[in-house]
Chain A
């Protein structure tokens, strides 16, 4: 096991991470390093799921920021844009499909999109996986969040992650 995976697993076992679990904000669904799959709870909406799956690539963690996508568990692929969290203007901008990552400065791939902006929103080496999960959880609780048309199948955990849950 490399130092990035070891550091990630330590943080996933931390009290800080487990507080979020105890508050029903997120759950760890599995690790197939460098990928880790979470369920992050969303604000209850009539036309919305209980939450979304988030798949994060944690290569180089924690020195390097994770890069993440909303995930369709049943198909084991990125959630299609039509199923992503919606706001009155359409898909919430942080989850638009401009690239295979979040559209937010905390994301490793997206950060370079704003070379001189949002510097305080970028990943710092002293951040941990909870930093990312708090941001995602807050996005799902934004006042303009309207829900999404996500099927139950999308929230299923892919077999590859189930196979590793006991590790």
Chain B
């Protein structure tokens, strides 16, 4: 089941809590919804809770395209757990700095920091030796957790800059 579900409350209220993040906000929320709530309705609910409006879309973590708006949300969620992301339309231009070099790429706000790191380390990015798991991203001095979504750290903007750094291996 995708959502974090309390089966008793689900049966009682006929609602399923869905874990959501809204572009521009770091916190995760739980929104309980019924089976019939469409993607567009869910976007409006999450946007209302976060205090944002406009042309919102619902994205799943690291998926290439947003969900279809007139379909029920719960029917489009995968079996495995995933955090749902509500964002304004448009990709975010991510710039990566590493050893004086700079590359950039467009990502959906629902892309995770891990996915961005993989891209930056890989051949489309800096083409670095060694696995991406040996690197991490920093933004404004903060080391970012790998499962954060890009939209959670971009402060509602459509561009952001990162430093790519090697993970520390503490020595004597």
Contacts and interface: CB of A to CB of B under 8 A. Distances in A.
A116 interface: no
A94 B143 contact: no
A18 interface: yes
B170 A94 contact: yes
Interface string A112-124: 0110001011000
A120 B138 contact: yes
B170 A93 contact: yes
Contact of B4 (A15, A110, A134): A15
A9 interface: no
B170 A15 contact: no
A134 B145 contact: yes
A142 to B, nearest CB: 6
A103 B146 CA distance: 21
Given A143-B130, A143-B131, A121 B28 contact: no
A93 B171 contact: yes
A20 B171 CA distance: 29
A19 B146 contact: no
Of the listed residues B130, B142, B145, the one surrounded by the most CB atoms of chain A closer than 10 A to its CB is B145
Contacts, number: 57
B30 A23 contact: no
B101 interface: no
Contacts of B167: 138, 142
Interface in A109-147: 110, 113-114, 118, 120-121, 130-131, 134, 138, 141-143
B156 to A, nearest CB: 20
Contacts of B141: 120
Interface in B129-148: 130-131, 133-134, 138, 141-143, 145-147
A134 B113 CA distance: 13
Given A93-B169, A93-B171, A118-B168, A18 B133 contact: no
Contacts of A114: 170
Nearest to B131: A143
A51 interface: no
Interface string B13-57: 000000100000001111000000000000000000000000000
B28 to A, nearest CB: 4
A19 B147 contact: yes
5 contacts: A16-B28, A103-B170, A105-B168, A138-B133, A141-B133
